[in-house]
Amino acid sequence: MRLFSTLALALALVAFGGAARAHDLQIGDLELGHPWIAEAPPGAPTAAGYVDIANQGETPDRLLAVRCAFAERAEIHEMTIDDAGTMQMRPLPQGLEIPGGQTVKLERGGFHLMFMHVMERPVAGDMIPVTLVFEHAGEVEAMFMVQKAADGGMEMDDGMEMEMESGQ
């Protein structure tokens, strides 16, 4: 019986390892939905990344850090606009809490991953590996799909994307 459960665990780990390469993925209790990066304008030193993080467990988790190879540094930022219409961006040094049973959306006009000093410009169609480090769920490498900002992070499967390309 013990052997069986060890085997099942090993199989599950292999399955998770495989899933970690896909676009949407699961790590522990967390489900990462549609990770994407907005295509950066030429000359832009920064890029922003977005993803939905659903915590299906009961205990809160925390996105602590972000790592990538295409930019010098990556941070977790919060954008706010106050009543006077002033935009502020601030790093979240304590990371971003993902409360149990909730989904935290990193989306335009809110939280985002800030990639600084981009060495290679993200262009629509690219798939860029980015490592997300969670306090409890651990590390996972997610493939972020680069899309034009005007597409607004629309979830697109490959077929739709090709359709849009040929339409241009």
Partner 1 sequence: MTTRRLVVALGILVLAAVLGAAALIVRYGESDEAALAPVDIGGPFTMTDQYGATVTEQDLLGHPSLVFFGFTFCPDVCPSTLAEIAAWLDELGAEGEDLAVYFVTVDPARDTAEVLGQYVGYFSPRIVALRGTTNQTDEIVASYKAYAKRVDMGDGTGDYLMDHSAAVYLMDSKGDFFDAIIFTATPEEAVAKLRKLIAAS
CB of residue 37 vs partner 1: minimum separation in angstroms? 10
Q: Tokens in use for 101? A: 């049973």
CA 97, 131, 151, 79 torsion: positive or negative? positive
- Rounded to the nearest whole angstrom, what is the least distance from the CB of residue 114 to partner 1 in the complex? 6
Give the DSSP H/E element, type plus range, for residue 133.
strand 127-134
> Which lies closer to partner 1 via its Cβ, residue 24 or residue 75?
75
Judged by beta carbon, residue 91 or residue 99, the one nearer partner 1 is: 91
Binding site for partner 1 (CB under 8 A): 38, 40-48, 73, 77, 79, 81, 84-91, 108-109, 112, 114-116, 148-150
The C-alpha atoms of residue 115 and residue 146 are separated, in whole angstroms, by 13
**What are 2's two structure tokens?**
């013990």
Residues 6+ apart with CB under 8 A from 63: 53, 76, 95, 96, 98, 132, 133, 134
> In the bound complex, what is the minimum distance in angstroms from residue 63's beta carbon to partner 1?
17
Q: How far is the CB of 62 from partner 1 (least distance, A)?
A: 20
What 8-state DSSP symbol labels residue 20? T
Nearer to partner 1 by Cβ, of 38 and 140: the residue is 38
Q: Which is nearer to partner 1, 25 or 63 (CB)?
A: 63
